[in-house]
Chains A and B, each alone.
Chain A
Amino acid sequence: MRLSFTSACCPSNFSIFTKPSLCTNLHRTVCSSSLSSLPTSLKPQVPLFLRPPVHSATVPDLRNWHDWAKNLASSVGTRFQDSDNGPDSSLLSRELKWLMEDAIEDHSVFSQLGIGNNQTNVRLKAGIEELYNLWKQRIEERRPFQYVVGCEHWRDLVLSVQEGVLIPRPETEHIVDLVADVVSDDEGLREGLWADLGTGSGALAIAIGRILGSCGTVIATDLSPIALSAAAFNVRRYGLQDAIELRQGSWFEPLKDVEGKLAGIVSNPPYIPSDNIPGLQAEVGRHEPRLALDGGLSGMDYLFHICNGAASMLKPGGFFIFETNGEQQCKCLVKYLGNDMRGSFRSLDIVSDFAGIQRFVTGFRQ
């Protein structure tokens, strides 16, 4: 079976993996994508915790590695924090614990790490050599922990992520709560067609796919083929192939067939002003895809674009929620939606995240 994405002209097909026999000419295989020059192969990487435990090490070897890794974490102190608000050593120690959780098959080993010289072998999902490398990358290259273990715990999901795919942020979880509120007392929205623009790992699409009713579906789009392959992996892992359709393309471009039919649109588009990109925390700036972060000069290029499209894409009464960079972008967007696009939307609102930063703009199509 070959991984391919249904394009806009095959809307009835809601599966991610399509047999080449049907509408072959309508499918564009990802290999021919213009973004195939990205360094990672398009076969999605399997997160560490899902790999088979085919490696092994003795308890003392594992302990040596752990002690070395712990020391390395301690040596960081607050250095990263002081330079770019990166992780301090206590955070890194916790990550080390989670790395072990993901890498070790049998968790009862943890209690043995402190004591005894047990020579029995521990089954591992990565060789001890690789564990040394992974932790070195974490500390020395500031490779994000989520890329090191290949997954991010987000809401009640564990999502596969890899280089080229934005690691979903905790702030974004709140979008799902807000959507849940909106659909809980509106059957039309609950059973309707939703769009997640710039789906990345598929986080929003999957979480929303799980709260919609049995007839509710989500179309998730992204320009990046790597993001889409990770999203496809995640959608399949949660068995949502029938509820979520992935489409490749820029914003609304692959959604022409559903114009005016959407019950809801969610999006967390790139919103960081271009000037801020060089000063980003190393984990973000050096490792996460610029395509997922850079929102143009003001950071609002895509937010404006999506607002404009939302007016024609949403059905009357349809709901939208967009994530922004903070208070300034929220206010600017609300003003734009209320003034420049007067008459298109109602009940415009700004919602804060748990850190108290104004983060989301919501509203309904008139």
Chain B
Amino acid sequence: MSFLILRKSLRSSKVTTQNPRISFLFSYGSPSFLYKTTEAPSGSRRLSHLIPENPIPPSGSPIYRHSFSGIYSNSLPSIKNLSQFRQSPVILTLFRYFGTEAAIQPSTADGLTVEGILASNWTILDESESDWKSHAAAIAQSIHLIKKRLRWKKLVVRLDLLSMELNKPDLWDDPVHAGKISREHGSLMGKMKQVRAFERELLEHIDMIKLAGEENDADMESESLKALVRMRRNSKEKELQAMLAGEQDSCSCYIEVQAGAGGTESMDWAAMVMQMYKMWAQQRGYKVTVVDEMPGEMAGIKRATIKVDGEYAFGYAKAEVGVHRLVRISPFDSNKRRHTSFAAVAVIPIMGDGSTRVQINESDLRIERFRAGGAGGQHVNTTESAVRIVHIPTGITATCQNERSQHQNKASAMAVLQSRVDQLEMARQAQMNAQHTQSLTDITWGSQIRSYVLHPYRMVKDLRTSYEVSDPDSVLEGDLDGFIMSYLSASIDKDEDGR
């Protein structure tokens, strides 16, 4: 165990990590051992990190294996914040170091930790009240929730495991595996650092407020208070982001809607559901493209696929997987009877190039042209160039008919097919790891999740969360975030409690 106590006097100078005055803290050398403590001239001890500049090894390079990559960046934000000290030497930060990143518990100069704040049960007042304890308690609560959502304890264990893997000398013998490990390590480490930085920021502002109180510096106090309010607002955003911490959550996705049995009424319902998602996606600022659409004979759609492009599209949309039920007086029933219809929704992540995607062999594909009849070739003029691709080993198919050339339809269908095959493979692996008990069909289409009742009363109710609204029109116009957020938080928070 070692301590880092940093004494530094800074007079309102802007300090960045590039500042030569602090860069002496970091010396780069052989990564063979982690750190050493040295006596600083002032008598306090200083930690030098012998760490390469880039903690993630460039792919293929086995030189830096790092169980240590989190350490130095941990101290960066505190140093950044030195700029806020304008008075004589102060003790900046103290934290214990246990050898693993997770064990580092940031605390204030007088030993207050985020846990400590939570335990103090300070009253949380409205944001407009300028009471630092209230702000601090609200932020600490957010941090607690964020950690819960990130499955903090598991994250720590997993990181340790990954670090060990990264330390193995033969790691890069299998570059694909090594790439995967190092990507996951980087991503988890990123999450952990973010939370840690957020915690430290909170504690430093508290330090400063206390200091300002001691030194009667009203300016400094109000500045720090403002910073806390900013953090408090920011924390809500971070709570949301923490819900979307899954590997594919940040991906773009496809949304597919399929009409249930029941003819035109069902197909009309499927079209309404699809419209709902198009509007939801547009309102969120995502780009929407129709990939495939099979219209019903009279009205509506038999099925359709849209591509939703943008950050976290999959993370949010995955909350919509399942069967959606509609109850209304059917406009297609001349006897004005009440009908119940169903539409199934599937959501498929579009994995980035960084992830390992399933290699599809050309010879495993059967490509078919749609609605091709007659002699074809020069005999026929048509703008119909739909293509269906069948992946023979899995039986997965994909169709695209919305592009204007066969070649483009083929490319689009191929992209859908690739994502479906990837999803199947992920599901298969997850099942093998016994992390999921759902069947593969459940993963694709799920069970009934929501009821939309237009008659005899008006209500939309989520069967999973019991979240409900009494204005179906707004929901059908894409106002889905309430449903999505409540489901995401319910599932993730429940999940974590169970462990």
Point out residues on A near B: beta carbons under 8 Å: 85, 87, 90-91, 94-95, 98, 144-146, 153-157, 166-167, 169-173, 268, 270-272, 276, 280-281, 283-284, 288, 292-293, 323-326, 353-357, 359
- In whole angstroms, how far apart are the Cα atoms of A146 and B380 in the complex? 13
Chain A residues within 8 Å of B372, by CB: 354-355
Query: Contacts A354-B369, A355-B376 hold; do A281 and B405 have CB atoms under 8 A apart?
Result: no
Contacts of A325 in B (CB 8 A): 375, 377-379
Q: Which residues of A contact B373 (CB under 8 A)?
A: 85
Interface of chain B, main secondary structure:
loop
In the bound complex, residues from chain A placing their C-beta under 8 Å from that of B381 are: 144, 146, 167, 281, 283-284, 288
- Nearest CB of B to A332, in Å: 15
Select the residue from B374, B381, B404, B405 with max chain A CB neighbours within 10 A: B381
The yes or no answer to B184 lying at the interface (CB within 8 A) is no
Q: Name the residue among B295, B369, B387 with the largest chain A CB count within 10 angstroms.
A: B369
Q: What is the CB-to-nearest-CB distance from A165 to chain B, in angstroms, rounded to a whole number?
A: 13
Known pairs A155-B406, A284-B378, A359-B376 / 16 extra A-B pairs, C-beta < 8 Å:
A85-B373, A87-B383, A87-B384, A94-B383, A98-B383, A146-B383, A153-B404, A153-B405, A155-B405, A156-B405, A170-B405, A170-B406, A272-B379, A354-B368, A354-B406, A357-B376
A271-B376 in contact given A98-B383, A153-B408, A354-B406 (Cβ < 8 Å) = no
**B158 on interface, CB distance cutoff 8 Å:** no
Complex Cα distance, B380 from A144, in Å, reads: 11
Question: When chains A and B are docked, how far (Å) is the Cα of A94 from the Cα of B384?
Answer: 9
Instruction: State whether B407 touches A281 (Cβ < 8 A).
Output: no
User: CB distance A272 to B383 under 8 Å?
Assistant: no
Shortest CB-to-CB span from A309 to chain B, Å, is 21
Provide the bound-state CA to CA distance between A284 and B377, in Å: 11
Q: Is the CB of A353 within 8 A of B376?
A: yes
In the assembly, what is the distance between CA of A324 and CA of B375, in Å? 11
Query: How far, in angstroms, from A63 to B368 measured CA to CA in the complex?
Result: 37
Q: Is B367 on the interface with A (CB-CB < 8 A)? A: yes
Contacts of B384 in A (CB 8 A): 87, 91
Given contacts A91-B384, A154-B407, A354-B387, A170 and B379 within 8 Å (CB-CB)? no
Q: Which residues of B contact A172 (CB under 8 A)?
A: 377
Contact assessment for B378 and A91 in the assembled complex, using a CB-CB cutoff below 8 Å: no
**Complex CA distance for A157 and B404, rounded to whole angstroms:** 10
Q: Is A284 within 8 A of B380, CB to CB?
A: yes
Chain B 386-425 interface 0/1 with A at a Cβ cutoff of 8 Å (1 = within): 0100000000000000011111100000000000000000
- Are A293's CB and B375's CB within 8 A? no
**Nearest residue, chain B, Cβ from A323:** B377
Interface centre among A98, A169, A276, A357 (most CB of B within 10 A): A169
Query: Can you identify 14 A-B contacts, CB atoms within 8 angstroms?
Result: A87-B383, A90-B295, A98-B383, A154-B405, A155-B406, A171-B376, A276-B379, A280-B379, A281-B380, A281-B381, A325-B378, A354-B406, A355-B369, A355-B376
Query: Taking the nearest CB of chain B, how far is it from the CB of A203, in angstroms?
Result: 11
Instruction: State A349–B408 Cα separation when bound (angstroms).
Output: 27
Chain B residues closer than 8 Å to A324, beta-carbon distance:
377
Residue from A155, A293, A357 within 8 A of B378 (CB atoms) = A293
Q: How far is the CA of A131 from the CA of B407 in the complex (A)?
A: 28
Give the residues in chain A near B378, CB-CB below 8 Å: 166, 169, 268, 270-272, 284, 292-293, 325
In the assembled complex, the Cα of A270 lies from the Cα of B378 at a distance in Å of 8
Contact in complex: B382, A87 (CB < 8 Å): yes
With both chains docked as a complex, state the minimum distance between the C-beta of A325 and any C-beta of chain B, in angstroms: 6
B385 CB-CB contact with A under 8 Å: yes
Output the least CB separation between B252 and chain A (Å): 20
Q: Kindly list the 10 A-B residue pairs having the minimum CB-CB distance in the complex, ordered from nearest.
A: A153-B404, A355-B372, A170-B406, A354-B369, A155-B407, A283-B381, A153-B405, A355-B369, A170-B385, A284-B381
CB neighbours of A270 from chain B (8 A): 378
Bound-state CA distance A33–B92 (Å) is 89
Quick check: A169 and B407 within 8 Å, CB to CB? no
Contact B295 A170 (CB under 8 A): no
Min CB–CB distance B463 → chain A (angstroms): 32
CA distance A90 to B380 in the complex (A): 17
What are the residues of chain B within 8 A of A293 when measuring CB–CB? 378
> What residues on B are CB-neighbors of A276 within 8 Å?
379
Contacts of B383 in A (CB 8 A): 87, 91, 94-95, 98, 145-146
Assembly CA distance A282 to B432 (angstroms): 58
How long is the Cα–Cα vector from A145 to B383 in the complex, in angstroms? 8
User: Which chain B positions have C-beta within 8 A of A283?
Assistant: 381
Closest beta carbon of chain B to A222's beta carbon, Å: 15
CB-defined contacts of A154 to chain B, threshold 8 Å: 405, 407
Which of B368, B369, B374, B375 is within 8 Å of A170, CB to CB? Answer: B369
CB-CB nearest in chain B for A154: B405
Q: How far is the CA of A155 from the CA of B375 in the complex (A)?
A: 21
Give the complex CA separation of A95 and B387 in angstroms.
17
With a CB–CB cut-off of 8 A, which chain A residues contact B382?
A: 87, 91
CB distance from B285 to the nearest CB of A (A): 14
Query: Nearest chain B CB to A31's CB is how many angstroms away?
Result: 29
Enumerate chain A residues within 8 angstroms of B405, measured Cβ to Cβ: 153-157, 170, 173
